[in-house]
Structure 1
Amino acid sequence: MTIEAVWFLIVGALMVLMALGRNLVERLPMTGAMVYLIVGFLLGPAGAGLLTIDVERDVRLLRTLTEAGLVVSLFAIGMYLRVELSRPLWRLTLRLAGPAMLITIAVVFAAARWGLGFAAGPALLLASALAPTDPVLANELRVEEAGDDEPLRFALSSEGGLNDGAASPMVYIALALCGVGSLGSENPWTFALAIAWGMTSALFFGWALGTGVVVLVTKLRTKYDYALGLEGFLALGLVALAYGATLIVDGYAFIAVFAAGVALRRQEMKATGDKPPSEVLESVERGQREEAAKDPELAHAYIAENMMGFSVEIERFVELGLMVIIGSVVSAHWRELIHWSVVWPVLFLFIVARPLGSTLSLIGSSMDRHQRFLFGWLGLRGVGAFYYLLFSLEQAGHDRVGPLLPITLAAIVLSVFVHGASATPLLKRYLRRK
């Protein structure tokens, strides 16, 4: 039996089992990410040895795969957030993706600098990689459908969509402290301007392309019966355009992709109004879908829901693939993960830094004590932290960033199991109380 046949059998069996057991997984205190992580570990060097990944050797490939997966997830989250920009819910997003993340970075930086003895650059890199919450693995925390405005779900979803990009300036500052130059880093003032440009250009390109693509496509469909079908191509094309255009001008491209998803949903809201798109399209029969795509009253809802549905399906493949890869990396380094010097910084992040950051940032908000506790606890770490670790390894080298590898991997593993197992029962209890 060839290795290719074995891999086909493993991947096929995993997909079929997850499809058949999805309802069981949802009822138990477990997630798909746990299953994929365990499978990756068992396939890795500590298990069957079928998947051996060298982070230092394969860093560019791993970073590219992780980056591609993140952008699809960020776009999907943006399209879930069907809420007017004037609503106070977005202030929660800004509190969590701004002050809460910065406070978390500061507290973890202090722990790494003086508790672990790291130099300033690596300490800030570790803090910046671990501070953002994860957009890929947070399915249990995400809004249930476009238009869901439950405050806890909305804020956690939008935080995960925005703070991966918002962490980029801190990562570049940390790399500058490690001796790796970037746009404007030779001078504090030019660096500040570069950060402002990175944020502004990302929002501009993301919003302009998200708006422009949906306006163009719906006009072609409703007026000329043209550009029908292939919403998956449109979704991936828009993601690539927003990401590539922002990278070319040295902007923070993760923010651009998220903004493109929000902008596309904003156009659907303007056309559809208060009625959820699922209700708008519920009367459309399967054989009438092409007609719905050309109907001026249905076209925006049709394109938005189909593009979001496609993105979510791709996101599930991304979760499977990336968590198996991370599991294999953990399998190669598991002995390093069980030292107390690796575990305590992760526990410090979960129990002290994240709750402190979210609690302080929510002072003056309408959130009650129970909601603030959940905000502080449900800060899942995963693919985003892995991406910034790989990006830093690629830029600064293994000598500077290598010591951060076991801590980052331990944070991902513990978060997947501890946060993943607790998220569903905590949310169910919270929603029953409401």
Structure 2
Amino acid sequence: MDIYIVTLTILGLVILLTAWLPMLMRRLPLSLPIACLAIGALLAWSPFPLLPRFNPLENRDFTERMTEIVVIVALMGAGLKLDRPIGWRRWGTTWRLLGIAMPLTIAVLALLGYWILGLGVASALLLGASLAPTDPVLASDVQVGPPKTGEEDEVRFALTSEAGLNDGLSFPFVHLAIAMAVATKEGNDLFAHWAMIDIVWRLGAGVVMGWAMGKLFGVFSFKLRDISLAKTQDGFVALGMTFTVYGLTQLIGGYGFVAVFLAAVAFRASERDDDFHEQLHDFAEQIERLLMMVLLVCLGSIAASGQLLAGIDWRVVTVAVLAIALVRPLIGWLSLIGSGHPPGEAVIIAVFGIRGLGSIYYLAYASGHAEFESVETVWATVLMIVIASIVVHGTAVTPTMAWIDGRRARSKQVVDRPSVH
């Protein structure tokens, strides 16, 4: 049996399911990522020799590049969704989640890795840094709606803006873990290098490049009369913007994740009400969904075949349960104290810190730049938490968002109801 033809056939079916499954599961307490994991598991248990059955440790480059592409496309889509202009007060919840919740989450997860899993310091920090950011890919069900739809309540906005920025802001801690692993052998002055290069330069370059490129693309799209990009009405311009911003930022050593999201936000601000934003967003979302399905089918195949999860023991299960059920919910809730959110909304924002493909990317990236002790344990823990997050949050997302929408509708009715004297 020709493995290429079989895989091509399966890929065609997966692409068709990309369009069909969201309609089927619209009212069900399930999500598209859960269905992808199930498909992958079925493929792993089938007698066909399919390409998706691979070990990411043995195919690190493929894992890194594929997750990298889907994350940056998702970041562009997330930035284009946001109707709210960036600002200190308007994005107050976002800054709390980034400045308080994320560093504390990294620290606590690293401590759990060191204390329960018995990891070395570098490996424990890598575990925390990989798992701390929420995922812009798998969090699409809890994010704001397409541009100009008005689907931007506080819960959705907080989760969308947080996922857009924290993927890049956790990168300094990934680089610190790499520096610590390398320094064990080479004795580098890692903290000086980390502070100046990995924080000041890389982060600064990502912010400046992202905002400047977003504004520049805004000029090309909306300010030129007869030759503007908006005149093309081609959604694939979003893909060109994404790759250009990411590539140029990475070439100068900046954080491309930060740059792509900020470029989308700056581009949206250039001409906020133009319909071109909707076309770009829709195209980016379709590409993101397709890539996500392919990768999650592979992840489901890995989980079902047991190649990497065979080493799971009570320690890994304990860390996974604590990470999903306690660490993010508690730290997220504490970071929102005093923010003015109603208790129910604050709990939802804290709980829905979905872990996903970004975590896998960070782990694959770091594994290619340094040798980490007990890296198989780190991989097993991250993959288990990602799979558990997909199932737990995917099951809860539909009723939770329905509750949010119902609450918002009731509040609007109260406001619009005429007073009787």
TM-score, shorter chain, exceeding 0.5: yes
Q: Supply the distance in 2 between the matched residues of 1:334 and 1:262 (Cα, whole angstroms).
A: 38
Structure 1 361/170 Cα, relative in aligned 2: closer, same or farther at 3 Å?
same
**1:248 aligns to 2:267 (yes or no):** no
What is residue 235 of structure 1 aligned with on the other side? Answer: 238
What is residue 85 of structure 1 aligned with on the other side? Answer: 86
Q: Answer yes or no: is the 8 Å Cα contact 2:18–2:293 preserved in 1.
A: no
Choose the corresponding residue for 2:353, options 373, 379, 384: 379
Q: Supply the distance in 1 between the matched residues of 2:59 and 2:45 (Cα, whole angstroms).
A: 16
Choose the corresponding residue for 1:404, options 372, 378, 384: 378
How many residues get paired? 401
Q: Answer yes or no: is the 8 Å Cα contact 1:34–1:417 preserved in 2.
A: yes
Paired residue type of 1:102: P
Moved more, 347-356 or 13-22: 13-22
Q: Supply the distance in 1 between the matched residues of 2:251 and 2:14 (Cα, whole angstroms).
A: 38
Q: Supply the distance in 1 between the matched residues of 2:341 and 2:68 (Cα, whole angstroms).
A: 33
What is residue 175 of structure 1 aligned with on the other side? Answer: 178
What is residue 66 of structure 2 aligned with on the other side? Answer: 65
Structure 1 119/398 Cα, relative in aligned 2: closer, same or farther at 3 Å?
closer
Task: Report the Cα offset of residue 362 of structure 1.
Answer: 1.0
Task: Report the Cα offset of residue 38 of structure 1.
Answer: 1.7
Q: Answer yes or no: is the 8 Å Cα contact 1:46–1:332 preserved in 2.
A: no
Question: SS of the residue aligned with 2:182?
Answer: coil
Paired residue type of 2:109: V
What is residue 282 of structure 1 aligned with on the other side? Answer: none
Paired residue type of 1:191: W
Q: Supply the distance in 2 between the matched residues of 1:404 and 1:395 (Cα, whole angstroms).
A: 15
Choose the corresponding residue for 1:388, options 362, 371, 376: 362
What is residue 332 of structure 2 aligned with on the other side? Answer: 358
Choose the corresponding residue for 1:370, options 344, 355, 358: 344
Q: Answer yes or no: is the 8 Å Cα contact 2:122–2:372 preserved in 1.
A: no
CA RMSD of aligned residues (A): 2.3
Structure 1 97/87 Cα, relative in aligned 2: closer, same or farther at 3 Å?
closer
Choose the corresponding residue for 1:320, options 279, 293, 313: 293
Q: Answer yes or no: is the 8 Å Cα contact 2:181–2:371 preserved in 1.
A: no
Deviations 1:333-356 (A, max 9, x none): 365265222111011111221022
Q: Supply the distance in 2 between the matched residues of 1:216 and 1:151 (Cα, whole angstroms).
A: 32
Question: SS of the residue aligned with 1:394?
Answer: helix
Paired residue type of 1:42: L
Paired residue type of 1:99: I
Moved more, 401-410 or 20-29: 20-29
Task: Report the Cα offset of residue 14 of structure 1.
Answer: 3.1
**1:200 aligns to 2:204 (yes or no):** yes
Q: Answer yes or no: is the 8 Å Cα contact 2:18–2:290 preserved in 1.
A: no
Q: Supply the distance in 1 between the matched residues of 2:255 and 2:375 (Cα, whole angstroms).
A: 22
Q: Supply the distance in 1 between the matched residues of 2:192 and 2:19 (Cα, whole angstroms).
A: 53
What is residue 416 of structure 2 aligned with on the other side? Answer: none
Q: Supply the distance in 2 between the matched residues of 1:352 and 1:320 (Cα, whole angstroms).
A: 28
Q: Supply the distance in 2 between the matched residues of 1:333 and 1:360 (Cα, whole angstroms).
A: 38
Question: SS of the residue aligned with 2:401?
Answer: helix
Task: Report the Cα offset of residue 217 of structure 1.
Answer: 3.0
Structure 1 164/366 Cα, relative in aligned 2: closer, same or farther at 3 Å?
same
Structure 1 317/180 Cα, relative in aligned 2: closer, same or farther at 3 Å?
farther
Q: Answer yes or no: is the 8 Å Cα contact 2:74–2:285 preserved in 1.
A: yes
Moved more, 371-380 or 123-132: 371-380
**1:129 aligns to 2:134 (yes or no):** no
Q: Answer yes or no: is the 8 Å Cα contact 1:180–1:395 preserved in 2.
A: no
List aligned pairs for 1:14-413, cutoff 5 A. Answer: 14-44=14-44, 48-51=48-51, 52-86=53-87, 88-147=89-148, 148-179=151-182, 186-194=189-197, 195-220=199-224, 222-223=225-226, 228-229=231-232, 231-269=234-272, 272=273, 301-330=274-303, 331-333=305-307, 335-336=309-310, 339-397=313-371, 399-413=373-387
Task: Report the Cα offset of residue 225 of structure 1.
Answer: 7.2
Paired residue type of 1:321: V
Q: Supply the distance in 2 between the matched residues of 1:347 and 1:206 (Cα, whole angstroms).
A: 36
Paired residue type of 2:220: L
Task: Please give the TM-score of this superposition, normalised by the length of structure 1.
Answer: 0.86
Q: Supply the distance in 1 between the matched residues of 2:359 and 2:229 (Cα, whole angstroms).
A: 42
Q: Answer yes or no: is the 8 Å Cα contact 1:111–1:345 preserved in 2.
A: yes
Paired residue type of 2:163: G
Q: Supply the distance in 2 between the matched residues of 1:319 and 1:228 (Cα, whole angstroms).
A: 30
Structure 1 187/394 Cα, relative in aligned 2: closer, same or farther at 3 Å?
closer
Task: Report the Cα offset of residue 72 of structure 1.
Answer: 0.5
Paired residue type of 2:118: G
Task: Report the Cα offset of residue 224 of structure 1.
Answer: 5.0
Q: Answer yes or no: is the 8 Å Cα contact 2:309–2:384 preserved in 1.
A: no
Q: Answer yes or no: is the 8 Å Cα contact 2:167–2:257 preserved in 1.
A: yes
Task: Report the Cα offset of residue 88 of structure 1.
Answer: 2.9
What is residue 277 of structure 1 aligned with on the other side? Answer: none
Q: Answer yes or no: is the 8 Å Cα contact 2:75–2:261 preserved in 1.
A: yes
Deviations 1:105-141 (A, max 9, x none): 1111111111222111101100111111111111210
Q: Answer yes or no: is the 8 Å Cα contact 2:68–2:361 preserved in 1.
A: yes
Identity among equivalent pairs (%): 34
Q: Supply the distance in 2 between the matched residues of 1:178 and 1:136 (Cα, whole angstroms).
A: 29
Task: Please give the TM-score of this superposition, normalised by the length of structure 2.
Answer: 0.89
Q: Supply the distance in 2 between the matched residues of 1:78 and 1:47 (Cα, whole angstroms).
A: 42
Q: Supply the distance in 2 between the matched residues of 1:113 and 1:163 (Cα, whole angstroms).
A: 23
